[in-house]
Structure 1
Amino acid sequence: MTGHFSQFAQNCRQRVDSALDVFLPEQTDPTLLLTAMRYSLFNGGKRVRPTLVYAAALAVNPNIDLAGIDPIACSLECLHSYSLVHDDLPAMDDDDLRRGKPTCHIAFNEATAILAGDGLQTLAFELLLNAKVSAELKVQLVGELANASGAKGMVLGQAIDLAAVDQQLNLSELETMHRYKTGALIRASVAMGALAAGANEEQLKALDDYAAAIGLAFQVQDDILDVTADTATLGKQQGADIARNKPTYVSLLGLDTAKAKAAELHRQALSALDVFTEQAVHLRQLADYIIQRAS
């Protein structure tokens, strides 16, 4: 990351962490439910989706007060964290590590992890409903998040992913799976930030094209890292997808072609931002980060 973007990303992480600490404070918790929710929220995540919310809002309105964007950014992180808690469960990917730490069901137990995920999902929508924005915008934001996270979005992608184990998918089928599983929430992050900043139709279309490209690039890079990075760097088990015989861009295309695919998606993302001037600098730098990251 460049120094400029590194500082922006750090500022976004600090904003989200501070806001989440207010929305879900530490408290006496005999059930361990809230403790498990906080454990899953504050486990070293990169906060890519909240950063996209802020960056998209600034691309539309560079003078926007980001305090009004905080609940929206936090809602995306709560939703994303819930998905990871459930994705790690024994019935799903059965992972023991997440970001270098024991996954929620290992640190607590399986039932608590399921409930923590449920709590994080509903908290995401509560944050949107309590945001200090117009009723009309609330409806738009809730609709965006619901469509992106449910059976028309991320959850559908997870279902396709589970059904694809030991199956031979072609490139089109693999892309469809990841446009739902990973891409849908990334597109929602960009759209929700842009809507909160008052984006027009032309801006929303350009930003959605950008988000669709980086959403897929994010997954391609994940697949590349699954075979090129070690467990310590990844913060999760290296080679996990190969061990489960799950189709990936690397298994389908080979490593070099997968890298070329990521580079092409990066070019598409930058091209989509041509309608914006310098105010979209953070989105451009985010696109660079997504394909250059090492974990």
Structure 2
Amino acid sequence: MMDKGSRTGLRAVPAEALTAGDVLALPDGDTLAEVSAVAVENDDFGVPALVVATVAEGRRISIATGSMVYLEPADAEIGVSAVAADHGSPEALVAQIALGHPDSATVQEVAGRLARGINLKSGSNLQDLHQLALALLIDEGDTASALTVADLLADLPFDGNFGRWKWIEGGLAIAAYLTRHDDARSARYSAAIRAADDAETDPLRAKTAAVYRQRQLNEPNVYDPEILRASAAGKTDVERDWRVLRIGVLLYLRAHGGSETLSRDALERRIAAELAAVGALNDQLAAD
């Protein structure tokens, strides 16, 4: 194994962030070798356990997930493959997830932005995390990873900034849905999503806000006209985007406990139907 002295000048990254083209410090000394291919091997439970990097002459380097490896510094702009973050950090988690979805343009694009550093007070970073969680749930069907990303948002408290809160709220809604078979855990997410409801301390303003909120819950905008127009015009990509927005609304309504017009059970049926509809549209777009 390389000692600390031999690592001087190298950059440390999580093993899960390795990509072809990286120049890796090998475990048998100070030798560096370019990585030609990277694969992830799961354990018997389907959990990523080993990162296998192929280097010169077909040599395979096996690295346990969660380990740090050392790479030659790159002059190029940092991307997903150059996440200089400790294992368990938001950046490392995103890098690991991105490694599992190399063919998803959305996952790679969003993860590439987040790899530069995640500031959980930045509205744009929170928006990217929300988009990533939605893509993993809706497009990739990777519920475990979607929940991991959603939890990065769900851990954040309401601080009075509604611009940031809408993305945290979205993460809580995703997490509440994905943990629906764990009543206690799902209830905690649902309780957290109502934090902003009780933020107003002025009694009159709080009453007015409650009336407005109930109207939104009872008569939500689920983009029916937009979806119908896009479908009638044969604009599959546009219809898909509107349906993704609809899923976000339905997830929020469900996490909020439903409303006077839409029960939680009804919302779960609608969410399942929308996920299937978007899946079919994705298949159609892929075939075109």
TM-score, normalisation: structure 1: 0.30
Q: Relative CO higher for 1 or 2, CA cutoff 8 Å, sep ≥ 6?
A: 1
Q: Which has the larger radius of gyration?
A: 2
The structure that is helix-richer by fraction is 1
